[in-house]
């Protein structure tokens, strides 16, 4: 499988490293008997961070794999319309 490098690859990798550390911290919280509400709050933060990393990677994929490789102007218009809908969907909480 071909390796793709996108504009924001290093940003996503950094985010994933922070998420990884955060998850280790949550595991330690559980092992130390921290309150469930605090653990759940931290899990929610990890989920939001993972969603943000996913959004960045999806946007990069769209821009660098779909739009840049497309030579059909009619399809490009359809892709841009889809991007608007997609962006709105990703903004939902």
Nearest C-alpha neighbor of 43 from the set 25, 57, 61, 17:
25
The larger pLDDT score, comparing residue 68 to residue 86, is at 86
Q: What is the pLDDT of residue 92?
A: 56
Query: Domain map of the chain by residue range?
Result: 9-91
**CATH, range 9-91:** 1.20.58.1000
**Cβ count within 10 A of residue 35:** 9
Alpha helices, DSSP H, located in the chain: 9-31, 36-61, 73-91
Is the pLDDT at 68 greater than 70? The verdict is no
Q: What is the pLDDT of residue 66?
A: 74
pTM, 2 dp: 0.74
Radius of gyration of the chain (CA): 18
Q: What is the pLDDT of residue 8?
A: 87
The larger pLDDT score, comparing residue 2 to residue 62, is at 62
Q: Distance from CA of residue 47 to its chain's centroid?
A: 10
């Amino acid at each position: 499988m071909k390796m793709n490098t996108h504009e924001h690859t290093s940003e996503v990798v950094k985010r994933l490293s922070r998420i990884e550390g955060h998850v280790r911290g949550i595991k330690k919280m559980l092992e130390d008997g921290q309150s469930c509400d605090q653990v759940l709050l931290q899990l929610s933060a990890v989920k939001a961070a993972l969603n943000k990393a996913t959004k960045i990677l999806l946007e990069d994929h769209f821009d660098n794999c779909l739009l840049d490789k497309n030579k059909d102007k009619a399809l490009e218009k359809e892709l841009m319309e889809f991007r608007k809908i997609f962006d709105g969907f990703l903004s939902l909480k």
